[in-house]
Structure 1
Amino acid sequence: IARNLAQGRGRFWAPHYTDTIYPAFHEHPPLAFWLQSLWFRAFGDHWFVERAYSAAAAALIALFIVVTWRAVHAVPDARNQDWLPVALWMAAPVVSWAIVGNLLETTVAVFVTGAVAVLTLGQGQPATEFSAFAKASADRRRFSGGWSSCPRRPPWWHRDYSGALPARPDSLPVLVACGCLSGLCVVGATLAKGPVGLFPLAAPLILALLPERRWRSTWCGAAAQWTAVLLCGALLYAGGESRESLSRYLHEQVVSALAGRREMSAGPLTMVGALVEGVWLPMALVSGMLVVMARRWTTPPSRGRSVAAAFTLLGLCGTLPILVSPKQTGHYLMPAVPFYAIGAAAFVSPTAADVLNRLRAGRSAVALRVLAATVAVAAGVAAALPAFEREPARMGELDRLAAVAPRGATVGICPSTNGDWGLHAWFQRRFQMSLDAADPVSHEWFLQAGEPACTPVTCRAASDTSARLVLLRCGQ
């Protein structure tokens, strides 16, 4: 869909899937498709484009996790543990699945983590690196009589840029600006995947549970965020095309899913099992490894427990509402995983600090950094590889058809094949072909997939007849 938008097929409020299936696509809001279409416009129709988009989205999510972590974590050397919430986030298999699969949830996760990161910056930090640095510098000057023995300014990659905000954590202009920006991020998440992107609206109230948070900051941030969302909603409703597109999405997708008229999951508690097995269990295993490496468990302070509870609650706000829908699947968890990771990191942070201290005392630090760099490079290479390894047999069939496939054509198929959504997707992605089961004999080309039950007698094979997918040309 994003590629089609980049090539001028479809509009923002009416994206184009194929000529026969969703020529005007309203199954999801259009923002994520449009954002990715910008990449196709910039770099062309290549396999690496969607991989690069997903990798950039993952990098932004990791950045917002780090920003939020520094803003809520009270330990002065929190920057030394930036890796911890990111590592716990990546430990969940659903994260790599969503990123490599180029799923819409990846874009949603960018917006929801951005919304919370901006809020935490606007409400101020409990202890910033720069304030601690300034205090240490003043103490050294007081006792040494000069600047010569002051600590050096940390390098740029270790600086806490939230220190650029005003010193008062409840500065009204900052609160309003950050609240409005957070609200715009919530709107972006909603326009990427629907109501599942609304849960950061609860973030101002949940963050108010943290120590040293002021209710004035809470209500100002919440009012600005909610007002921005309401104003954007009013503007979208006032626009004729946007109102029609989103109304069709709500009726055809959301209402139908809640009524059980769309795809059904294996059971009503599918999300609960996916949350426990696919998110909490991997994070618990990583935490257990840290305990083993530290050779002890260090109980987190009260603030760490508060951060853990608050962000776990925020993650649940992004997960539990999905339980009301009969349509559930594991990758729907992706937008909430960053907040579970921050909560888990706050709980295990003192133990992770013990691990780092043990490594610094020995010679294992260099080996650990080399290992981390190797894993990061391997992950980057894996993310850059094309997706067709997931279906090697089908991709091999498509490769054999590439020489004769009529690009941009509409091709007939048997009605029994019409439910193979992957077939529609891959023929559109590879050859810009549309598959028609409603009137298959009216086209010049016909695709035989499996049994030749409804193959027109006037068609002759144009590709290898021993393959499962066979292209036939008709009317000759």
Structure 2
Amino acid sequence: MFVDGLAYAAISRNMAQGFGTFWAPYFADSFWLNYNNLCAFFCEHPPLMFGMQSMLFKIMGDTTAVENCYNALVLAATIVLITLIWRQLFAHNPSLKAQAWLPVLMWYSLRIVWWAVPNNMLDTTMAMFCLAACYTQTRALSCKGNAIGHWILSSLFIFLACLTKGPVGLFPVAFPVLHYLVYKEKPKRVFGGTAILTLTFALLLIITLAYPPANLLLTSYFEGQVMMAILQKREHAGEHWTAHFYLLKMLLVNCIPHLILTGGIWLIARLQIVKAALSDSTKRTVFLNLLIIMSIIGPMSVSIKQSDPYLMPLTPFVAILFAAVSVERIVLWCRQFRFQSRFVFITASVCCVIIMVYSLFNPAWDRMYEVSTDLARHIPAGRHIYLAPDISTSSELQTPLQRYARLSVAFDSTATRYTYLDDPATASDSITASPHFRVVPLAGSAMLVIRLDNGSISAK
């Protein structure tokens, strides 16, 4: 997994084993980032995902199956929510309502989606809660009776999204107003619902901040992560003003296959092979999702701290947009060319299953997983291991060492008996030949040096 996902899994596992608490998460005695020095625990992010994943660790134990099961649950929930939102948006058109497979296909064919979901990213969990908030709002806007329960439930989902990844989870608050701008329906319900959303969220936040441990974590996170990012004192996507448009650029890159597909469908329609103009209701759906995408990516572009997974909360709406643009013409094409369309779908499905099975049984070799599991056989959990200064703050080393071996990094060679050498060439002859040290070869040509007495370790 990507280093962030490894860190989150390690925090969740530690919480399940009694190291750290929900409001004071613990990663390790060492940490590779030096941006946030406001607290003695892990306050880089809100704790909800760690708490939920720790419950799986308590049930299943310390196994990598936990991350896989958790990610599979998030994937399944997101697919269900995309389906429900699509059916709600096309409730008036049974033919299009039945094509919910198309936005799901459009969603998972975005590269960032099939990369981020298995990598245990916070953004996928947050996106799930945001989708749930938007779905409950579509129910509130369409139901004939009292919708206050839907609004309160939606506010709860928004709060859970923010408790997963911070303020970026707030965008569903704008959904009712965006919906009104497109459909011009039920203004009293729209603005009343927005008021309920805002007040309920504010009440939940006030109650949470009234609890001192929660207040410490969330204020430390806000000051050390959010404010520092706005002030451009954190990691950033570039060195000048163009960094503000990194997410927009990556969104366009991810959408290249969708743009090609949509362009091809449009070209076929222009050649009058398949005649189908977009209906007014479909145009409204496209416009609504375009506004939602802009409401998400706009605020995030204020900061130059941007990364590809930040696209996750907007990907379902990108998928619905492209599906809405294409669905009427695809349905008409399938009706006119039944045999050809069935052949294409069956062939594509078989190819996807073959690729999936092959990938499951032929995973890519993970060097640091092998190294870490080797170390776990020689070093008791909870100990420290020394890394040379040039690699001691490497997240690619710290995260697997903690996740798979529960080892923290020592920055002083005299503070531990264990030294990790990523390159055997760095070991001096005095170490390998000395009776005071035991050298253990590890996977990937790495090496563990164990001090047997009070001798000191020197390296080239």
Output the TM-score relative to the length of structure 2.
0.85
Classify 1:9/1:375 alpha carbon distance in 2 versus 1 (closer, same or farther; 3 Å).
same
Classify 1:385/1:49 alpha carbon distance in 2 versus 1 (closer, same or farther; 3 Å).
farther
Aligned counterpart, 1:225: 197
Aligned counterpart, 1:47: 64
Mapped pair 1:262 → 2:238: no
Provide the C-alpha distance between the structure 2 equivalents of 1:379 and 1:335, rounded to a whole number of angstroms: 25
Paired residue secondary structure (2:77):
helix
Provide the C-alpha distance between the structure 2 equivalents of 1:430 and 1:84, rounded to a whole number of angstroms: 39
CA deviation after TM superposition for structure 1 residue 227, in Å:
1.8
2:437 to 460, 464, 476: 460
2:155–2:200 contact (8 Å) kept in structure 1 = yes
CA deviation after TM superposition for structure 1 residue 371, in Å:
3.7
2:167 to 192, 195, 201: 195
Matched ranges for 1:24-423 at <5 A: 24-73=41-90, 74-124=92-142, 169-172=143-146, 175-211=147-183, 213-266=185-238, 267-278=243-254, 280-288=255-263, 290=265, 295-296=273-274, 298-360=276-338, 362=339, 364-365=341-342, 368-369=345-346, 371-372=348-349, 375=352, 379=356, 382=359, 389=364, 392-423=366-397
Q: Quick one: which amino acid aligns to residue 276 of structure 1?
A: L
1:293–1:355 contact (8 Å) kept in structure 2 = no
Classify 1:222/1:398 alpha carbon distance in 2 versus 1 (closer, same or farther; 3 Å).
same
CA deviation after TM superposition for structure 1 residue 11, in Å:
0.4
Q: Could you report, residue by residue, the CA deviation over 1:321-379 in whole angstroms, capped at 9, with x for unpaired residues? A: 1111121111110111101211222222211211331343x364266246436636855
Provide the C-alpha distance between the structure 2 equivalents of 1:225 and 1:377, rounded to a whole number of angstroms: 45
Q: Could you report, residue by residue, the CA deviation over 1:283-329 in whole angstroms, capped at 9, with x for unpaired residues? A: 22333455578843632111211110111110221112111112111
CA deviation after TM superposition for structure 1 residue 226, in Å:
1.5
Paired residue secondary structure (2:440):
coil
Provide the C-alpha distance between the structure 2 equivalents of 1:30 and 1:466, rounded to a whole number of angstroms: 34
User: Which stretch shifts more, 200-209 or 68-77?
Assistant: 68-77
Provide the C-alpha distance between the structure 1 equivalents of 2:228 and 2:445, rounded to a whole number of angstroms: 35
CA deviation after TM superposition for structure 1 residue 210, in Å:
3.6
Q: Could you report, residue by residue, the CA deviation over 1:245-302 in whole angstroms, capped at 9, with x for unpaired residues? A: 1000011111111222211213332112101111x32322333455578843632111
Classify 1:230/1:465 alpha carbon distance in 2 versus 1 (closer, same or farther; 3 Å).
closer
Provide the C-alpha distance between the structure 2 equivalents of 1:373 and 1:300, rounded to a whole number of angstroms: 31
1:111–1:186 contact (8 Å) kept in structure 2 = yes
Provide the C-alpha distance between the structure 2 equivalents of 1:466 and 1:78, rounded to a whole number of angstroms: 54
Classify 1:171/1:396 alpha carbon distance in 2 versus 1 (closer, same or farther; 3 Å).
same
Paired residue secondary structure (2:385):
strand
Mapped pair 1:443 → 2:434: no
Q: Quick one: which amino acid aligns to residue 392 of structure 1?
A: D
Q: Quick one: which amino acid aligns to residue 35 of structure 1?
A: M
Classify 1:373/1:189 alpha carbon distance in 2 versus 1 (closer, same or farther; 3 Å).
farther
2:439–2:450 contact (8 Å) kept in structure 1 = yes
Provide the C-alpha distance between the structure 2 equivalents of 1:239 and 1:440, rounded to a whole number of angstroms: 40
For structure 2, list consecutive stretches of 5 or more residues without a partner in the other structure: 1-10, 32-38, 454-460
Provide the C-alpha distance between the structure 2 equivalents of 1:385 and 1:40, rounded to a whole number of angstroms: 24
CA deviation after TM superposition for structure 1 residue 236, in Å:
1.5
1:408–1:433 contact (8 Å) kept in structure 2 = yes
Q: Quick one: which amino acid aligns to residue 394 of structure 2?
A: D
1:13–1:241 contact (8 Å) kept in structure 2 = yes
Classify 1:290/1:400 alpha carbon distance in 2 versus 1 (closer, same or farther; 3 Å).
farther
- Number of residue equivalences: 424
User: Which stretch shifts more, 296-305 or 238-247?
Assistant: 296-305
State the percentage of identical aligned residues: 26
2:367–2:443 contact (8 Å) kept in structure 1 = no
User: Which stretch shifts more, 40-49 or 466-475?
Assistant: 466-475
Provide the C-alpha distance between the structure 1 equivalents of 2:444 and 2:48, rounded to a whole number of angstroms: 39
Paired residue secondary structure (2:301):
helix
Paired residue secondary structure (1:27):
coil
Q: Quick one: which amino acid aligns to residue 425 of structure 1?
A: T
Q: Quick one: which amino acid aligns to residue 48 of structure 1?
A: A
Q: Quick one: which amino acid aligns to residue 299 of structure 2?
A: P
Paired residue secondary structure (1:34):
helix
Provide the C-alpha distance between the structure 1 equivalents of 2:306 and 2:40, rounded to a whole number of angstroms: 26
1:17–1:23 contact (8 Å) kept in structure 2 = no
2:26 to 16, 31, 36: 16
Provide the C-alpha distance between the structure 2 equivalents of 1:472 and 1:211, rounded to a whole number of angstroms: 68
